[in-house]
Structure 1
Amino acid sequence: MAMTDRIKDFMQSPRGKKMMDRGRAQMQKPQTQQKLRELAQRVTGKTGPHR
């Protein structure tokens, strides 16, 4: 079984769906969104939208 098939099967399982729901709930938090913006800026080396 290919890795992508295994991932797909997991994500369709009750445990995978629960994990996705938790992830979506975390993404709704402003703190999480800010942390991801900061991480993206560090990774890309950009300090803001002016670049």
Structure 2
Amino acid sequence: MSLIQRIKTFARSPQGQRTIEQARRAATDPRRRAQARGLLARLRGRR
């Protein structure tokens, strides 16, 4: 089974659906968004 196929299978499973929903909620949280922006800025700065 290819990696993409395994990801699709996981995304369709109940656990995958819960994980996707948690990620969506985290993406709307301003504090989490700021953390993500800071992490990306640090990663981009190291190049």
Q: Is the structural similarity TM-score above 0.5?
A: yes
CA root-mean-square deviation: 0.9
TM superposition score normalised by structure 1? 0.78
Residue of structure 2 equivalent to 1:20: 20
Aligned to 2:37: 37
Q: Which has the larger radius of gyration?
A: 1
Q: Number of aligned pairs? A: 45
Write out per-residue CA displacement over residues 1-51 of structure 1, whole angstroms, 9 at most, x where no aligned residue.
Answer: 112111111101111011100110011110100011111111111xxxxxx
Which of the two has greater helix per residue?
2
For structure 1, the residue ranges without an aligned partner over 5 or more in a row are 46-51
TM normalised by structure 2 equals 0.83
**Structure 1 residue runs of 4+, over 3 Å off?**
none
